[in-house]
């Protein structure tokens, strides 16, 4: 039944196309078994997707443009595997009744459903994490510890913040150890193989693409510049992100924040062996995310913490009110509450998840109508435009906009288009995320924001006159109700 519930939520929230920018990077990198220009390269994940793609392409001759469907299916399959793994782990820790309740919270979580079919690392990283935890149960042998270290290292290689969950593994190994010599041997083996897995992932990425080091430094510089652009000092960032983190836990499941106070109630029993290591891992991971400046736009960051937090919460609930664990109806109520939350937040799900995917699909299916000499300002649709350009090796000039960008690059692109007679495609206002400057401020922005526009055959784009005179007053259009259908022409 848990698997059926998970399948329903994943199917209900399955997007019609790729979603996050990272998903485009993983899809493109999978074709060449290459790393992506983020963090440590995460080579393992594109390599896994690439292996699956090679098999499916050979057997079924699937068009490369449809590769994302295969990868999305792989992610959904991993989500189904996670149901079994999480139930097995929680059953060992809190018994079958507690495991049923904890699993009901997880499988009906809207966030788990949203990312269950996404071509992102969250779901697969959770698979590796859960496997590693299952291998350090009881009195683990050196072999089991070695497998756990490799699995945890692989999880960290494709989802670096997982490293902040290491207190859970170390605590379990220490507390399950029979004597000090055995404990230190297992701890050393676990840490060594986890580091080895991360190192091999990075080395494989470098060997498959030596230019990855250059892109890594560019990514690091971009992250530092982005953090600086937020203008948030650490205390203010911490408080703002704390609110976001609490809100995302509520989105994960309203059961979590409302039942967390149960953990603070006085317990008249000895805590389980996993209790303190898990709380320490939860706290360290949460603290790391709360000081992350990208947290406000990444609700997925709470998924590992939300999944693990269900176990101590359900255990504490069972110790306080054991009758709740005896009633199977409690699990049904949990699923109903999460379903009601999803229904209440459907407008947010539509705007955050479905609408960008539909718009990206419409743009992707009409980009072939753009001139090969076009200059594009794609705004929030930069990922799909960049992906289309890279997969077809087009000479488009793209100004990676939608966030802060150097006005000099925009100025040079506009001047180039005017000189060479190249068409300029500007994304429609809802996808243009930069500040709209007023007359007299930054001539480049005036030409972008107030230039004369005309219909474009590319969905969600308009043709921009390189020399548009800014009007005296302007208005911003409201978000369109639905994505433009492929092949249609929309006026600005």
Q: Where are the domains of the chain?
A: 2-344, 360-464
| pLDDT reading at 124 higher than 70 | yes
Query: What does the pLDDT read at residue 302?
Result: 94
Check: CB of residue 71 under 8 Å from CB of residue 14. Answer: no
Q: For residue 436, name the pLDDT band (cuts at 50, 70, 90).
A: low
Nearest one of 185, 135, 137, 132 to 155, comparing CA atoms: 132
Where is average pLDDT lowest: 124-133, 191-200, 419-428?
419-428
Query: What does the pLDDT read at residue 479?
Result: 37
Where is average pLDDT lowest: 148-162, 371-385, 405-419, 451-465?
405-419
Q: For residue 234, name the pLDDT band (cuts at 50, 70, 90).
A: low
Bridge-based pairing of strands 397-398 and 375-377 is: parallel
| pLDDT reading at 405 higher than 90 | no
- Quick check: helix, strand or coil at residue 60? helix
- The Cβ-side half-sphere exposure at 215, using a 13 Å CA radius, reads 15
Q: How many residues appear in the chain?
A: 492
Instruction: Report the alpha-carbon distance of residue 455 to residue 489 in Å, rounded.
Output: 6
Tell me, what DSSP letter sits at residue 266?
A: -
Q: What is the pTM of this model?
A: 0.87
Summarised one tens digit per residue, pLDDT across range 362-388 is 999 999 999 988 999 888 898 999 999
Q: Cα-flanking dihedrals φ and ψ of residue 224, to 5°?
A: -65, -40
Q: Give me the percent of the chain exceeding a pLDDT of 70.
A: 85
Highest mean pLDDT among 37-41, 282-286, 408-412: 282-286
Check: CB of residue 108 under 8 Å from CB of residue 13. Answer: no
Give 295 or 237, the one with higher predicted confidence: 295
| pLDDT reading at 350 higher than 60 | yes
Q: Give me the percent of the chain exceeding a pLDDT of 90.
A: 47
Check: CB of residue 450 under 8 Å from CB of residue 492. Answer: no
Nearest one of 352, 385, 387, 348 to 370, comparing CA atoms: 385
Span 135-162, mean pLDDT? 92
Q: For residue 222, name the pLDDT band (cuts at 50, 70, 90).
A: low
Query: What does the pLDDT read at residue 491?
Result: 36
């Amino acid at each position: 039944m848990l698997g059926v519930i998970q399948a329903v939520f994943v199917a209900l929230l399955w997007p019609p196309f790729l979603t996050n920018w990272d998903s485009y990077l993983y899809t493109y990198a999978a074709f060449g078994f290459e790393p992506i220009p983020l963090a440590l390269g995460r080579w393992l994940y594109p390599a896994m997707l690439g292996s699956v793609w090679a098999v499916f392409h050979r057997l079924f001759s699937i068009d490369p443009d449809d590769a994302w469907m295969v990868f999305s299916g792989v992610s959904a399959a991993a989500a189904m595997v996670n149901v079994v793994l999480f139930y097995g782990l929680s059953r060992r820790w809190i018994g079958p009744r507690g495991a049923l309740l904890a699993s009901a919270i997880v499988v009906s979580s809207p966030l788990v459903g949203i990312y269950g079919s996404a071509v992102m690392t969250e779901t697969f990283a959770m698979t590796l994490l859960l496997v590693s935890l299952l291998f350090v149960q009881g009195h683990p042998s050196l072999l089991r510890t070695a497998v756990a270290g490799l699995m945890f290292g692989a999880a960290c290689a494709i989802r670096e913040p997982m490293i902040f969950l290491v207190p859970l593994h170390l605590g379990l190994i220490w507390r399950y150890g029979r004597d000090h010599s055995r404990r230190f041997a297992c701890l050393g083996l676990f840490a060594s193989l986890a580091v080895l897995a991360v190192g091999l992932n990075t080395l494989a990425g470098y060997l498959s693409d030596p230019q990855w080091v250059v892109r890594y430094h560019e990514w690091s510089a971009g992250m530092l510049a982005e953090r600086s652009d937020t203008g948030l000092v650490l205390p203010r960032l911490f408080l703002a992100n704390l609110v976001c983190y609490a809100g995302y836990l509520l989105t994960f499941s309203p059961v979590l924040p409302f039942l967390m106070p149960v953990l603070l109630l006085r317990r008249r029993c000895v805590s389980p062996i996993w209790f303190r290591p898990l709380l320490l891992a939860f706290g360290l991971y949460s603290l790391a995310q709360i000081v992350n400046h990208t947290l406000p736009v990444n609700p997925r960051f709470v998924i590992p913490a939300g999944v693990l937090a269900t176990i101590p919460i359900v255990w504490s609930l069972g110790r306080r009110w054991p009758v709740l664990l005896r009633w199977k109806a409690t699990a049904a109520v949990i699923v109903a509450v999460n379903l009601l939350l999803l229904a209440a937040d459907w407008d947010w799900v539509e705007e955050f998840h479905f609408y960008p995917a539909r718009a990206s699909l419409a743009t992707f299916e009409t980009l072939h109508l753009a001139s090969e000499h076009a200059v594009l300002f794609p705004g929030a649709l930069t990922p799909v435009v960049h992906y289309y350009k890279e997969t077809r090796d087009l000479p488009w000039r793209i100004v990676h906009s939608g966030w802060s960008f150097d006005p000099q690059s925009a100025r040079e692109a506009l001047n180039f288009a005017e000189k060479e007679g190249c068409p300029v495609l500007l994304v429609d206002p809802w996808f243009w995320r930069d500040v709209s400057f007023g007359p007299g401020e930054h001539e480049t922005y005036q030409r972008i924001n107030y230039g004369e526009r005309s219909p474009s055959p590319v969905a969600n784009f308009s043709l921009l006159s390189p020399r548009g005179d800014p009007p005296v007053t302007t208005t911003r259009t409201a978000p369109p109700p639905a994505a433009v259908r492929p092949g249609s022409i929309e006026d600005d």
